[in-house]
A = this chain, B = another copy of it.
Amino acid sequence: MAGTRTRTTPATEAADPYAPCEDDCGIRDVLDRLGDRWSVLLVVELAKGTRRFRELQHAVPGISQRMLSVTAKRLVRDGLVERTVYPTIPPRTDYRLTATGRSFAGAVAALADWSRTHKDAIAASRDDFDTRHPDEVR
């Protein structure tokens, strides 16, 4: 399927200039985690310290109980978050980053930094684009 190498273009390039390692270099793995709406936000919040279910829900405005539950579970499965349940009454559950999770938080922080640095430029570019292409659907 994807292995179809139909190189119809003779091109002047000698060796394969494309596909050096694996096309995506494994980025897909992170993307699947970054792709969803809440994973990163949760990790960022947990990077500040251990949190309980309720606390997380408050710290991440807009997240529903369901998505918090689902997302947290997924992070636990991936080994980024550790869950500790205290069989008390009422129940209490603590969430905290694992070593891998903290590592990930660091990597994400760099991206967040990039975001803050370029958000204005992006907004400007968009605005400019929209001004010159008012007929676009969008």
Contact of A48 among B18, B31, B41, B107 (CB under 8 A): B18
How many residues on A have C-beta within 8 angstroms of the other chain's C-beta atoms? 61
Contact of A36 among B35, B111, B112 (CB under 8 A): B35
Residues of B within 8 A of A24 (CB): 41, 44, 60
Q: Are A111 and B30 in touch, CB under 8 angstroms?
A: yes
Contact of A25 among B13, B18, B62, B116 (CB under 8 A): B116
Chain A residues at the B interface, C-beta cutoff of 8 Å:
2, 9, 13, 16-20, 23-31, 33-37, 40-41, 44-45, 48-49, 51, 54-55, 58-62, 76-80, 100, 103-104, 107-108, 110-112, 114-116, 118-119, 121-122, 124-126, 129-130
